[in-house]
Amino acid sequence: MFLRATHEYSKDMPKRKKRHEQSHRSSRSCAALRMRTKRANERWESIYNDFDEYSGSIKNRKGKTRSFEENKMLVLGIKASLKRRLNSGEPTKISWTSIDREMAEDFGYAVRDVTAIRKQFIESEGADILVNEVEENDDDGCRKRGHAVNNNKQKVYPQHLHSILEYVDASHKKGQAVTLRKIGNHLRNNHHLSISRGQVHYTMKKLGLNYQPIKPKRRNMNSFRPERIRDYIIGYDMIKRKIMSGEKWVFVFTDESYIHENHHTEKSYFINGKNIEINRSFSRGRRLIILHAITEDGPLAEIDPVTNKCALGRLKWTGKTPHPIRKDGDLLTCETLWPADTHTGDYHDNMRSDIFLKWVNERLIPTFKTVYPGHKMCLVLDNAPYHHKRDIGTLQGISKSKIIEMMITDEVKEVELPFTDSRWNHYQGGDDRDMFDRGETVEISFDSEEQMERAGVNKPRVANLKELQISYLKWLKLNKPQKLLCSFEKRMNEEGYKILWTPPYCPKLQPIEMFWAAGKNHVANLYNTDTTMKHVIRRLQDGWYGNENIIESTNNEYTKGVRCEMLIRKCEECANDEYIALCPGLEGRIGNLKIDETHDRDTTQIPIDSFVIDLTKGIDRNEETDDVDI
46-104: pLDDT as tens digits: 777 766 655 444 455 555 556 656 766 777 788 788 888 888 777 777 888 888 888 88
pLDDT band at 606 (very low <50, low <70, confident <90, very high): very low
DSSP state of 497: -
Q: Is the pLDDT of residue 131 over 60?
A: no
Short-list 298, 313, 289, 291, CA closest to 252: 298
Write down the pTM of the prediction.
0.58
Interhelix angle 400-409/465-479, rounded to 10 degrees, is 20
User: Do β-strands 376-381 and 249-260 pair in parallel, antiparallel, or remain unpaired?
Assistant: parallel
Give the span between the Cα atoms of 300 and 312, in whole angstroms. 11
Q: Is the pLDDT of residue 225 over 90?
A: no
pLDDT band at 6 (very low <50, low <70, confident <90, very high): very low
Identify the weakest region by mean pLDDT among 133-137, 426-430, 455-459. Answer: 133-137
Is residue 469 a contact partner of residue 392, using CB atoms and an 8 Å limit? no
Q: Is the pLDDT of residue 615 over 70?
A: no
Which superfamily does CATH assign the domain made up of 248-264+282-390+486-610 to?
A: Ribonuclease H-like superfamily/Ribonuclease H (3.30.420.10)
Q: Residues 499-550: pLDDT tens digits?
A: 999 988 888 999 999 999 999 999 988 888 888 888 999 899 999 998 865 4
pLDDT band at 308 (very low <50, low <70, confident <90, very high): confident
The per-residue pLDDT for 500 is 93
Look over the chain and give the mean of its residue pLDDT values, rounded to a whole number: 77
476 contact partners, CB below 8 Å, separation of at least 6: 392, 410, 483, 484
The per-residue pLDDT for 23 is 66
The per-residue pLDDT for 496 is 93
Q: Is the pLDDT of residue 458 over 90?
A: no
- More confident site: 117 or 14: 117
Summarize the confidence of residues 464-483 as an average pLDDT.
Answer: 84
Q: Is the pLDDT of residue 607 over 70?
A: no
Summarize the confidence of residues 28-43 as an average pLDDT.
Answer: 76
Give the span between the Cα atoms of 304 and 44, in whole angstroms. 99
Torsional class of 602: left (φ above 0), alpha (ψ -120 to 50), beta (otherwise): beta
The per-residue pLDDT for 304 is 86
- More confident site: 329 or 234: 234
Summarize the confidence of residues 280-307 as an average pLDDT.
Answer: 88
Short-list 503, 486, 471, 410, CA closest to 608: 471
The per-residue pLDDT for 224 is 63
Summarize the confidence of residues 386-403 as an average pLDDT.
Answer: 78
The per-residue pLDDT for 333 is 93
Q: Is the pLDDT of residue 217 over 50?
A: yes
Identify the weakest region by mean pLDDT among 29-38, 152-161, 213-222, 581-590. Answer: 213-222
How distant, in Å, are the alpha carbons of 197, 350, 439, 497, 630 from that of 320?
A: 64, 19, 64, 39, 19
Summarize the confidence of residues 431-456 as an average pLDDT.
Answer: 80
The per-residue pLDDT for 567 is 95
pLDDT band at 564 (very low <50, low <70, confident <90, very high): very high
Give the span between the Cα atoms of 7 and 10, in whole angstroms. 5
38 contact partners, CB below 8 Å, separation of at least 6: none
At 515, the amino acid letter reads: F
The per-residue pLDDT for 68 is 57
Summarize the confidence of residues 172-201 as an average pLDDT.
Answer: 86
The per-residue pLDDT for 11 is 52
486 burial type by CB count under 10 A (0-12 exposed, 13-18 middle, 19+ buried)? buried
Enumerate the domain spans of the chain: 35-123, 131-206, 248-264+282-390+486-610, 404-482
Q: Is the pLDDT of residue 434 over 70?
A: yes
Summarize the confidence of residues 272-284 as an average pLDDT.
Answer: 71
237 burial type by CB count under 10 A (0-12 exposed, 13-18 middle, 19+ buried)? buried
pLDDT band at 437 (very low <50, low <70, confident <90, very high): confident
pLDDT band at 313 (very low <50, low <70, confident <90, very high): confident
% of the chain residues with pLDDT over 90: 18
Give the span between the Cα atoms of 608 and 464, in whole angstroms. 13
The per-residue pLDDT for 381 is 93
The per-residue pLDDT for 290 is 92
Identify the weakest region by mean pLDDT among 101-105, 121-125, 154-158, 378-382. Answer: 121-125
The per-residue pLDDT for 128 is 44
pLDDT band at 109 (very low <50, low <70, confident <90, very high): confident
The per-residue pLDDT for 619 is 31
Which of 144-148, 411-415, 613-617 shows the highest mean pLDDT?
Answer: 411-415
